[in-house]
């Protein structure tokens, strides 16, 4: 490690001058303390490459956190409705988006736990003449959620003063997960509602329950609360209650779904649905009356638990499914169903089904190339899509959980100028020696490093000249547009991979990876991910999608750069001494606001520093390796919070039964104080199969980390 340390830290002479050695080319900026920030002449992220799809997107306006559904109002031109997980319905004028207001506040009715919340809404077909909307949401108690379909009548569609809510239908949910939430009027004027299996897998094959089904009911006729279309598969049976019933439910149109989150009708009257998969496959279905789509007997078009169906059951396969694995590694895939494109601005998309994946962070177009043969092409990377919508202009819009509303637009095919094929062309590393950073590229280190299968790492960042880094209240660093983060990976002192993480000019982050050649003279970009054997171990070069699965929206995209991670010393060769990183970078005027004295700031311990308290070391390991996903707003179903500063009682793991499988452990808990063998989180961390955590990016368990977590669990006597 000594040679590696010297190699990393000697690079500081390229950007730091203090009157005692070092140097850089180009203009510099000197602070009052005498430290000079070298000009960043070349390491700047530009336009985001869009490939050759001819499709891009424009960000229109924000909507705050928690967007679950987007739709355009038919009454007032340019006005959009945004549903929020907590129960608010916002009205936003596209021409004056900052004047948005709460059109209806349903927070007193809605419980937004886990997959729940205010999930969907549709306008009455005769709106606004009939001032009614229909909404689907979860309500009741946190540990006993119910799905509610309700009709709401307002006194004024412009800005309601009063409203009347009428519950039409209720569904018992066994857990906080898999509530579905698709809602649409069909061309037959019947209302269609998709409902998940409540994470109770057998319910999707039990037609005497409403769970795991697409329902079709008549809410426009005279019957109260609704009528049953006479051609429904089980029409004639008594309407179903919220729980089990004696006969199949007449409301059911089709069944065998896991978590059918979004669905829509196309111009031909076909019902398209995206069904969120379990461990291996995501699927797209064309939903037809009376058909069984197979879950849990099948996941996608593949056997999952075939014994749960009879050999006589006729199962309908999806028209398309895609695997969770990318380059052989399990991915956090979660499909968001979309719409068949019928706009005019992007002719190449005509007739394509445009959908997204919340976990993979991308948007795709599914096109039929020949009868019953479909091909899916990625259009672009865009994380956190929870809803698609069609506008009055016939074009497609996207709603993102954290980032507001965007519109699909035609885009010229992009070259790879800002995602170069060779690392030396990135502008971040020397053309003569691509392993050495250019001037203005700043090395840094972290207190609690991410486990990377025995690799040593060197870290760098660069921001455009004149720009600064904002520090959030939680200590997380927010980099300006144009910033680049880079990381070298070495095995046995040899460079094997370099990753670039760029914030492009449209504000989006994107990741790119480069594989070093045997002579250590150049690294070339790997597209789509790759696995190879290096020095007797498997190594993953992640795909672009996999990069964004770890660099989550909830974690602020960048992971290592936060004050508690960088609040430690680094040896500065140009100064010939060790200095605190935050203090040094602050003297170089790199922060928007003075972060304060390092002694007054939080600091993570190294998980491998045996002189630090055991509890702090264990929580630092969890923070670094797990909290990018396991935190509020993260992409996982589990409501776990592994951030370092959250106390054990707030992590929602101690003496909590696992909601996503017990791995065959008797009397399993997520964390059983004093007993690692009963603790699912410990078992997952020491595995490297499809049940492993983290689920991707590693083929070798961190033995020291596993031992650390075991010692920590053993040391715990209670949850407080």
Domains of the chain: 2-47+416-600 (no CATH), 55-410 (2.120.10.30), 614-715 (no CATH)
What is the pLDDT of the chain when averaged over all its residues?
89
Crossing angle of helices 703-715 and 614-626, rounded to 10°: 130
Check whether 12 has a pLDDT greater than 50: no
Query: Which of the residue ranges 17-26, 283-292, 298-307, 656-665 has the most confident prediction, judged by mean pLDDT?
Result: 283-292
Joined together, the tokens standing for residue 473 give: 């209240």
For residue 689, name the pLDDT band (cuts at 50, 70, 90).
confident
CA 33, 35, 40: angle at the middle one, nearest 5? 140
CA dihedral 130, 135, 141, 146 (to 10 degrees): 110
Q: What is the pLDDT of residue 574?
A: 67
Mean pLDDT on 678-706: 91
Low-confidence winner among 270-279, 446-455, 500-509 (lowest mean pLDDT): 500-509
> Residue 63 and residue 80: Cα distance in Å, rounded?
10
3-state helix, strand, coil in the chain (%, to 5): 10, 35, 55
As to burial, measured by CB atoms within 10 angstroms (0-12 exposed, 13-18 middle, 19+ buried), residue 559 is buried
What is the full DSSP assignment across 606-635?
PTT-TTS-HHHHHHHHHHHHHTTTSSTT-S
Q: Enumerate residues 6+ apart whose C-beta is below 8 A from 96.
A: none
Mean pLDDT on 653-661: 87
Write the pLDDT tens digit of every residue in 41-81.
899 998 877 656 688 888 888 888 889 999 999 988 889 99
> Residue 706 and residue 687: Cα distance in Å, rounded?
10
As to burial, measured by CB atoms within 10 angstroms (0-12 exposed, 13-18 middle, 19+ buried), residue 432 is exposed
How many residues in the chain? 720
Write the pLDDT tens digit of every residue in 298-336.
999 999 999 999 878 899 999 999 998 776 666 778 899
Q: What is the pLDDT of residue 418?
A: 59
Chain centroid to Cα 148, Å, comes to 26
CA 320, 386, 88: angle at the middle one, nearest 5? 150
Check whether 367 has a pLDDT greater than 90: yes
Mean pLDDT on 408-433: 78
Percent of residues, the chain, with pLDDT higher than 90 = 67
Check whether 10 has a pLDDT greater than 70: no
SS (H, E, C) 29-75: EECCCCCEEECCCCCCCCCCCCCCCCEEEEEEECCCCCEEEEEECCC
Q: What is the pLDDT of residue 76?
A: 85
Q: What is the pLDDT of residue 621?
A: 97
Check whether 2 has a pLDDT greater than 50: no
Provide the phi-psi class of 361: left if phi over 0, else alpha when psi is between -120 and 50, else beta. left
> Residue 512 and residue 367: Cα distance in Å, rounded?
27
> Residue 85 and residue 112: Cα distance in Å, rounded?
6
Write the pLDDT tens digit of every residue in 149-167.
999 999 999 999 999 999 9
Distances in Å between the Cα of 442 and the Cα atoms of 9, 459, 466 are 10, 8, 15
Mean pLDDT on 267-273: 97
Q: What is the pLDDT of residue 97?
A: 86
Check whether 634 has a pLDDT greater than 90: no
Nearest alpha carbon to residue 167 among 197, 135, 209, 132: 135
Bond before 713 cis per omega within 30 degrees: no
Check whether 30 has a pLDDT greater than 80: no
Q: What is the pTM of this model?
A: 0.76
For residue 701, name the pLDDT band (cuts at 50, 70, 90).
very high
Beta strands in 158-240 (DSSP E): 163-172, 182-185, 191-195, 213-217
Check whether 571 has a pLDDT greater than 90: no
Q: Could you tell me whether strands 470-471 and 404-410 are parallel, antiparallel, or unpaired per DSSP bridges?
A: unpaired
> Residue 27 and residue 466: Cα distance in Å, rounded?
11
> Residue 670 and residue 681: Cα distance in Å, rounded?
6
For residue 11, name the pLDDT band (cuts at 50, 70, 90).
very low
Check whether 271 has a pLDDT greater than 50: yes
End-to-end CA distance of the chain: 38
Nearest alpha carbon to residue 589 among 152, 31, 100, 24: 31
The better pLDDT of the pair 637, 295 is held by: 295
CA 90, 96, 98: angle at the middle one, nearest 5? 60
Q: Enumerate residues 6+ apart whose C-beta is below 8 A from 646.
A: none
Check whether 141 has a pLDDT greater than 90: no
Residue 523 pairs in a beta bridge with 516
Write the pLDDT tens digit of every residue in 448-491.
999 999 999 999 999 999 999 999 999 999 999 999 999 999 99
Distances in Å between the Cα of 507 and the Cα atoms of 195, 396, 404, 421, 503 are 35, 21, 13, 22, 6
For residue 660, name the pLDDT band (cuts at 50, 70, 90).
confident
Residue 422 pairs in a beta bridge with 524
> Residue 185 and residue 134: Cα distance in Å, rounded?
10
Write the pLDDT tens digit of every residue in 588-613.
999 999 999 999 999 999 999 999 99
């Amino acid at each position: 490690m000594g040679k590696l340390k010297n190699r990393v830290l000697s690079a500081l002479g390229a950007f730091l001058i203090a009157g005692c050695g070092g140097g850089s080319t180009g203009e510099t900026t000197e602070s009052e303390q005498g430290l000079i920030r070298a000009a960043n002449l070349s390491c700047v992220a530009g336009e985001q490459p869009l490939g050759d799809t001819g499709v891009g997107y424009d960000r229109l306006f924000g909507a705050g956190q928690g967007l679950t559904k987007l739709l355009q109002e038919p009454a007032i031109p340019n006005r959009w409705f945004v549903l929020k997980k907590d129960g608010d319905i916002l009205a936003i004028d596209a021409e004056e988006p900052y004047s948005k207001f709460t059109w209806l506040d349903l927070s007193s009715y809605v419980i937004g736990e886990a997959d729940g919340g205010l999930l969907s809404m549709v306008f009455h077909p005769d709106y606004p003449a009939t001032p009614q909307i229909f909404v689907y949401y979860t309500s009741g108690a946190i540990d006993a959620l119910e799905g509610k379909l309700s009709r709401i009548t307002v006194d004024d569609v412009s800005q309601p003063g009063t409203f009347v809510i009428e519950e039409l239908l209720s569904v018992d949910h066994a857990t906080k997960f898999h509530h579905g939430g698709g809602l649409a009027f069909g061309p037959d004027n019947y209302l269609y509602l998709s409902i998940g299996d409540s994470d109770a897998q057998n319910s999707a094959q039990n037609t005497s329950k409403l769970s795991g089904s697409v329902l079709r009911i008549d809410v426009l006729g005279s019957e109260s609360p609704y009528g049953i279309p006479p051609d429904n598969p089980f029409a004639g049976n008594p309407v179903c209650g919220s729980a089990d019933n004696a006969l199949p439910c007449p409301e059911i149109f089709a069944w065998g779904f896991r978590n059918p989150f979004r669905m829509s009708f196309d111009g031909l009257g076909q019902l398209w649905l995206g069904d969120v998969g379990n461990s291996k496959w995501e699927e797209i279905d064309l939903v037809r009356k009376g058909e069984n789509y197979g879950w849990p007997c099948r996941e996608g078009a593949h056997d999952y638990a075939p014994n749960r169906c009879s050999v006589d059951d006729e199962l309908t396969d999806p028209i398309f499914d895609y695997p969770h694995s990318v380059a052989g590694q399990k991915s956090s895939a979660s499909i968001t169903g979309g719409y068949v494109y019928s706009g005019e601005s992007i002719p190449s998309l005509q007739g394509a089904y445009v959908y997204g994946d919340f976990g993979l962070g991308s948007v795709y177009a599914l096109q039929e190339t020949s009868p019953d043969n479909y091909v899916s092409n990625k259009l672009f990377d865009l994380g956190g899509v929870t809803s698609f919508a069609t506008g009055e202009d016939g074009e497609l819009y996207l709603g993102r959980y954290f980032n507001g509303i965007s519109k699909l637009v035609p885009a010229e095919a992009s070259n790879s100028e800002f995602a170069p094929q060779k690392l030396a062309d990135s502008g971040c590393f020397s053309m003569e020696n691509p392993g050495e950073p250019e001037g203005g590229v700043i090395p840094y280190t972290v207190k609690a490093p991410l486990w990377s299968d025995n690799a040593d790492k060197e870290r760098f960042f660069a921001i455009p000249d004149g720009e600064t880094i904002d520090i959030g209240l939680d200590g997380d660093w927010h980099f300006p547009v144009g910033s680049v983060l880079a990381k070298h990976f070495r095995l046995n002192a040899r460079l094997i991979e370099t990753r670039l993480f760029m914030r492009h000019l449209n504000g989006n982050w994107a990741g790119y990876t480069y594989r070093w050649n045997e002579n250590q003279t150049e690294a070339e970009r790997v597209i789509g991910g790759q696995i190879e054997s290096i020095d007797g171990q498997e190594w993953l070069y992640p795909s672009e999608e996999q990069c964004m699965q770890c660099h989550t929206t909830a974690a602020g995209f960048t992971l290592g750069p936060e004050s508690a991670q960088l609040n430690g010393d680094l040896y500065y060769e140009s100064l010939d001494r060790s200095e605190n990183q935050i203090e040094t970078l602050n003297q170089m005027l790199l922060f928007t606001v003075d972060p304060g004295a390092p002694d007054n700031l939080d600091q993570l311990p190294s998980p491998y520093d045996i002189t630090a308290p055991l509890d702090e070391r264990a929580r630092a390991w969890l923070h670094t390796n797990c909290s990018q996903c396991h935190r509020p707003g993260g992409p996982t179903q589990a409501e776990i919070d592994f951030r370092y500063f959250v106390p054990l009682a707030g992590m929602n793991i101690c003496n909590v039964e696992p909601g996503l499988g017990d791995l065959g452990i008797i009397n399993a808990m997520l964390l059983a104080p004093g007993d690692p063998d009963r603790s699912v989180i410990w078992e997952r961390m020491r595995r490297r199969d499809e049940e492993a955590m983290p689920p991707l990016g590693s083929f070798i368990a961190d033995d020291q980390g596993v031992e650390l977590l075991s010692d920590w669990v053993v040391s715990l006597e209670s949850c407080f």
